[in-house]
Structure 1
Amino acid sequence: MQLTQIRNATLLVDYAGKTLLIDPLLAGRGAYPGFAGTANSHLANPLVDLPVPLATLLDVDAVVVTHLHLDHWDETARRVLPRGLPVFAQNGADADAIRADGFTDVRPLAADGDTPFDGIRIARTGGQHGSDAVMAAIGARMGEVSGIVLRHPDEPTLYIAGDTVWNAHVAAALETYDPDVVVLNCGDAQVPGLGAIIMDLDDVGRVARAAPRASIVASHLEAVNHCVLSRADLRAWLDGQGLRARVSVPEDGEARTFQRVRELRPA
């Protein structure tokens, strides 16, 4: 498996002979206003350019959209991605919205069990886009979010947690699937007065303790206005915690390669 950090939560995953595009944010730098009511909302999103040509991100076998927030499924993605690409959505409502954009092969992920794709098993996992206090205050805005798990006999088990904080959903996914590789959206996106709406440093530590054999990849950093954790600060914290060897912090455009080291666990 090769995992390439593109920008924000956008990833390219080469897995079992297929290339999957995860949560595409494809617009040029500064195309959208900052997210109102969040940290640094005066900054225009995305904060940085794509690290690869746009055409590279269109030549894929399928797209996975964990939820429909602009920084995971943006107007440019909706406009430029080939209409016939398989697009996996977290639920029927999101699938209907993606179909309304003209996509013809939209597949909701099964609520329980696996959704197959050419020998790859895709499982949907739960998440919560902020603490209980965040959800009580702005839960309608945060909406429903999901993660995914990819499994194949010849590949490491990959868990992409999505836009969630540490909670029972994440703990259950780690216990159920025992992933070899975990991708965390851990840019500490902040809503002033309410706190983080994705993982922060403490949450990274919680995941590392709960999955002591997994390799962890840090994503969703330095690309949208409300993410306040820098890669430099994350790396310094990892050094202090003795986690630098286990937690990779790729720059945009950098790839990491992983091999299966454990037997595929049934789930």
Structure 2
Amino acid sequence: MKLTQIRNATVLLDYGHARIVVDPMLAPLGTLPSLKWLTRQRRRNPLVDLPAEAPALLDSATHALITHCRKGHFDHLDRAGKRWLRERQLPVLCMPDDADHLRERGLNVQVLQATGPTPFGHGTITPVPCLHGEGWVGRLMAHGHGYLIEQPGEPSVYLAGDTVLSEPVRQCVRDNAPAVCVVPAGGAAMDLGGELIMDGPQALELAALGQGIFIANHLEALDHCPTPRAALVQAAHRAGLAHRFHVPADGQTLAFALNTA
């Protein structure tokens, strides 16, 4: 299995028989609004353009997988991403709560089971609940789901989605021991309220709980995600986790074998 970090939450999982693009946010540099309103240093999103490798990678995709998309979450599926999916009519895997929203936009929706595994390829995809912020700010969010993807002959992959470090996330890592975990580490927060996703320390805490490889994303692409890659790499070294905690650059591809651990 190969995993390519494209930008923010957008990654490509390549299993050979299936190449899954996750949460396609495809807008050009600076064409989306800021996610901060009270600061004097507002910046339009995304803060960086797609990497040069993106067009070829996206052209190879056979499926899309959406973690959440309602309530204005353009950072996981923006207009450019919807248009791209609609034009290609790629099968779009999603949870039941998102299905009507996506169908209304002309996408080729394939609904996953709300709980338990759904057959996919030669294996399964199983949803894992997200907690997209706590307290009053969490009540404004579409919480979505992460996914545990299991394919025979390939390392298991847990895509955590947009979540803080919650008990379902810990339980997935403890009980299923995914070989590869893709976790948000940007510490996204609005002007008021707590964090909406894991920050660096929470991502490293989760990595210490597991045994597999951890891949951090949601970094340096949106104005409400303050975690810098360099600081996260240094923190992983200090925690003794650098050998299995990766912080890929946009466009970087990582390859994993079945015995990845």
Once the 2 structures are TM-superposed, how far is the Cα of residue 88 of structure 1 from its aligned partner?
0.7
The Cα RMSD (Å) is 1.9
Q: Deviations over 1:133-189 (max 9, x none)?
A: 2xxx12343122210111012000000101001011101211332100100111111
Give yes or no for the alignment of 1:148 onto 2:117: no
CA distance in 2, matches of 1:233, 1:39: 23
* 1:1-267 paired onto structure 2 within 5 Å: 1-37=1-37, 42-51=42-51, 52-54=53-55, 56-68=57-69, 69-81=73-85, 82-90=87-95, 92-104=96-108, 106-130=109-133, 132-133=134-135, 137-211=136-210, 213-261=211-259
Write the letter of the residue equivalent to 1:85: L
Runs of 5+ consecutive residues of structure 1 not aligned to the other structure: none
Once the 2 structures are TM-superposed, how far is the Cα of residue 84 of structure 1 from its aligned partner?
2.5
Once the 2 structures are TM-superposed, how far is the Cα of residue 126 of structure 1 from its aligned partner?
0.8
> In structure 2, do the counterparts of structure 1 residues 54 and 38 end up closer, same or farther at CA, with 3 Å as the change threshold?
farther
Once the 2 structures are TM-superposed, how far is the Cα of residue 248 of structure 1 from its aligned partner?
0.6
Identity %: 37
Runs of 5+ consecutive residues of structure 2 not aligned to the other structure: none
Write the letter of the residue equivalent to 2:159: I
CA distance in 1, matches of 2:26, 2:39: 22
When normalised by structure 2's length, the TM-score is 0.92
Once the 2 structures are TM-superposed, how far is the Cα of residue 37 of structure 1 from its aligned partner?
4.4
When normalised by structure 1's length, the TM-score is 0.90
Q: Deviations over 1:110-145 (max 9, x none)?
A: 122211222131111111011x32xxx123431222
- Give yes or no for contact 1:26–1:54 (8 Å, CA) kept in 2: no
Once the 2 structures are TM-superposed, how far is the Cα of residue 83 of structure 1 from its aligned partner?
4.7
> In structure 2, do the counterparts of structure 1 residues 149 and 39 end up closer, same or farther at CA, with 3 Å as the change threshold?
farther
Question: How many corresponding residue pairs?
Answer: 256
CA distance in 2, matches of 1:156, 1:40: 45
CA distance in 2, matches of 1:139, 1:121: 29
CA distance in 1, matches of 2:205, 2:43: 31
